Structure 1
């Protein structure tokens, strides 16, 4: 897998940084260890010096006592009193210096016991008004010499131990004195090598990128030219010209796209031609339905009216019932034909986009289709929007008519509500009728579906289908919220801006 230039640069700098960090850590640790071992060497010298000073103070005190005993000259004892204090200070100093060495502490404790014993012997020898026999004095002096030899032996062991430590610490110090500059030099050399390597790689990649960019410029220019041709074809298709073709024989993605677009325009040309023929057939059907079907229907209705007007006195009650049923069926058949025509024309006729005061429109629909026994209540202020007035009027007309037609009482209330959303308005038309069971909430929007017996209410079952199709054309949504005995609320959304820009 080939890495990008930025990735290579980042990886190179990461490696360089890691190497420099590692060598820096090694250098730091080397210098740190050098410092530590230097301090340890100094510490060893301090221990040796303190031990030597302690031993020399004991020897000096012994020398003063012997001088006094030989000459009986009190001047020898002039500084003897302070010698013991100095010795005690030296012991405390050595205890601090050897706190990290248990063996030395043990030797120091033994040495302190011997020194105290030696000072006790010397104190006995110089104590005034005390007569000592020559034999006693020799015994004390022999004991002093033996004690002093033991003290010197302990001093030699302390010195020997410290000298061994000094040798090892000198060796470690010499080692780190050698390692520290080497690591610094190696770090500098590695940094220079890595920097040179990065410079070489980046220079080579930049040169390759410049060549690639020059090639890409040429490719982009050629691609832009070919894309302009495709855009021109798309513009021609939007303008309704489906015979336009692209001449592009390149064997690449754009060439394949050009071939697909050529086949697409050919299919569109064929499909729109077939669609135009179908629309003509539908227009012919609408003409036949509106004239050839409705003309004989009106004739039959006229004959029924003549029978009712001229033979009303001779018609029996049973025949009157049949005649009334015939009138209802004929009226339903006319409504069905008008509904089918209205459903077929939705979305095929031009829309007249205008400012519509929905409050005023609802009032006009109320006057047209709502009987005086029913009351229409507007719960929220209704907006003014730019839309097709006729389509919105059809929606409210059908919903109000249904609320009145299917009400189980002779009087009722219709409530209109409105909620403003970001891109649309949500309208609610609610009634206090018998309600609709949840299992029929989807069924009622299908064509020719009615929930009541056709003998009870002359209904075509197409009104809500028209409403649903109009709202779908406006890119809105519709649903019903109802339960048996709780009335029905039809909720639909209507866009703030016209969904269709066609103007009649």
Structure 2
């Protein structure tokens, strides 16, 4: 599997850094080892120096006391006084140096005991010679010789131990002194080799990339030209020209896409031709429905009026009821035909966008569909913007007339308000009527769906369907917020800018 250039560079640098870290660690270990062994050697020399100093000072103190005993001259007691001051500190220092060596520390503990014993022997001999008898002095001198003999034995053991450690540490020190420069040199050479190899690899990859970039530039120029042709086709399709074709016969992805687009435009041309034919048929149906169907309805309505007028005195109450029902059915059928025509024409009529003062528009609609017994409250938040005035007027007309039509009292309060919702205005038409149960909130927007008796002349079940279709055409939304006995609020969104 071929790695990408940036991956190779990152991998190369990672390897180089790893090797550098390893060689640096090796160099650090070598230098640290050299430092530790050097410190150990110095420690050994310090221990030897301190032990030799203790034995030398002790010997000087012994010799001074013996000179004092022979001559009686107190000048010979000066080494003893010096030893009294120096030896406690020297013993403390040498004990601190042997903290990490238990065997040596045990010997030094013994050495300290012998030193203290020697001072206990020498101290009486430093007093006046008249106090001590000859036999007592001789006993002390014999004990002194035995003590110093033990001190010399301990000194020799301590010195041998330290010299053995010194030899071992010196050997390790020499080893680290030899290996440290070699490790540093090898690390530097290895790092240079890795960096040089990595740089050469990067240079080669960059050269290959430049060559590939030149090839890609040539290929991209051709692809850009072909994409421009495809974009031109798309723009022509947007303008409504579905007969345009792309003369691209290449056997690649763009060529395949061009073929698909050519077939798509051909299919669109056929579909829109069929759609235009269907629209013509729908227009013909609307003409027939508005003339050929409504003319007999008007004739039947006229005949019913004639019957009522000519036979006013002869009609029984039951017959009058039948005639009233017949007029109601005829009026409802006329309303159904008008509603279907209005529903079919939604989105198929051209209009000119105008600046609409929504508050004024709602006031005019209210004068037409809201009875005087109802109070219409128009919020000052209603905007003024450019839109299709007829469609917006039809929405408010249907919503307000429905609020009045389905109100359970002969009077009530209607409220129209608005709030900003980003790219849309959100309008709210609120009433204080009987409310709508939640299970009917979606059903009422379906065609021919009504919550009243189907035989009521004013209940065609088309008004809210027309409202929803108009709002869908505007790419808005509509919903109802209501519960039984709490009134109903129809909330819909309307775009601020017309597409």
User: What's the offset of the Cα at 1:139?
Assistant: 3.7
Q: Separation in 2 of the partners of 1:489 and 1:3? A: 63
Aligned to 1:247: 247
> Normalising by structure 2, what TM-score?
0.95
| Residue pairs, 1:396-415, within 5 angstroms | 396-415=396-415
User: What's the offset of the Cα at 1:276?
Assistant: 1.1
Aligned to 1:366: 366
User: What's the offset of the Cα at 1:479?
Assistant: 1.0
Q: Separation in 2 of the partners of 1:296 and 1:29? A: 112
Q: Separation in 2 of the partners of 1:397 and 1:71? A: 143
Q: Separation in 2 of the partners of 1:483 and 1:79? A: 116
Q: Secondary structure at the match of 1:328?
A: helix
Q: Separation in 2 of the partners of 1:79 and 1:118? A: 14
Aligned to 2:416: 416
Aligned to 1:357: 357
* Contact 2:57-2:79 at 8 Å conserved across structures: no
User: 1:431-473: CA deviations, max 9, x gaps?
Assistant: 2222222111111111111111133453211111111100110
Aligned to 2:313: 313
Gaps of 5+ in 1: 500-504
Q: Separation in 2 of the partners of 1:88 and 1:436? A: 107
> Normalising by structure 1, what TM-score?
0.94
Aligned to 2:23: 23
Rate the CA distance shift 1:385–1:73 in 2: closer, same or farther, 3 A: closer
Q: Separation in 1 of the partners of 2:242 and 2:79? A: 128
* Contact 1:380-1:416 at 8 Å conserved across structures: no
* Contact 2:329-2:455 at 8 Å conserved across structures: no
Rate the CA distance shift 1:472–1:126 in 2: closer, same or farther, 3 A: closer
2:285 pairs with 1:285: yes
Aligned to 2:473: 473
User: What's the offset of the Cα at 1:134?
Assistant: 5.7
* Contact 1:107-1:154 at 8 Å conserved across structures: yes
Q: Separation in 2 of the partners of 1:83 and 1:234? A: 111
Aligned to 1:52: 52
Q: Separation in 2 of the partners of 1:71 and 1:374? A: 144
* Contact 1:37-1:172 at 8 Å conserved across structures: yes
* Contact 1:329-1:458 at 8 Å conserved across structures: no
User: What's the offset of the Cα at 1:478?
Assistant: 0.8
User: What's the offset of the Cα at 1:143?
Assistant: 2.2
Report the aligned-residue RMSD: 1.9
Q: Separation in 2 of the partners of 1:406 and 1:79? A: 129
* Contact 2:331-2:457 at 8 Å conserved across structures: no
User: What's the offset of the Cα at 1:314?
Assistant: 3.0
Aligned to 2:331: 331
Aligned to 2:487: 487
Q: Separation in 1 of the partners of 2:441 and 2:19? A: 73
| Residue pairs, 1:86-235, within 5 angstroms | 86-130=86-130, 136-235=136-235
2:345 pairs with 1:341: no
Q: Secondary structure at the match of 2:128?
A: coil
Which is worse superposed, 124-133 or 29-38?
124-133
Gaps of 5+ in 2: none
Q: Secondary structure at the match of 2:19?
A: helix
Aligned to 1:502: none
Rate the CA distance shift 1:4–1:248 in 2: closer, same or farther, 3 A: same
Q: Secondary structure at the match of 1:312?
A: coil
2:417 pairs with 1:393: no
Rate the CA distance shift 1:493–1:78 in 2: closer, same or farther, 3 A: closer
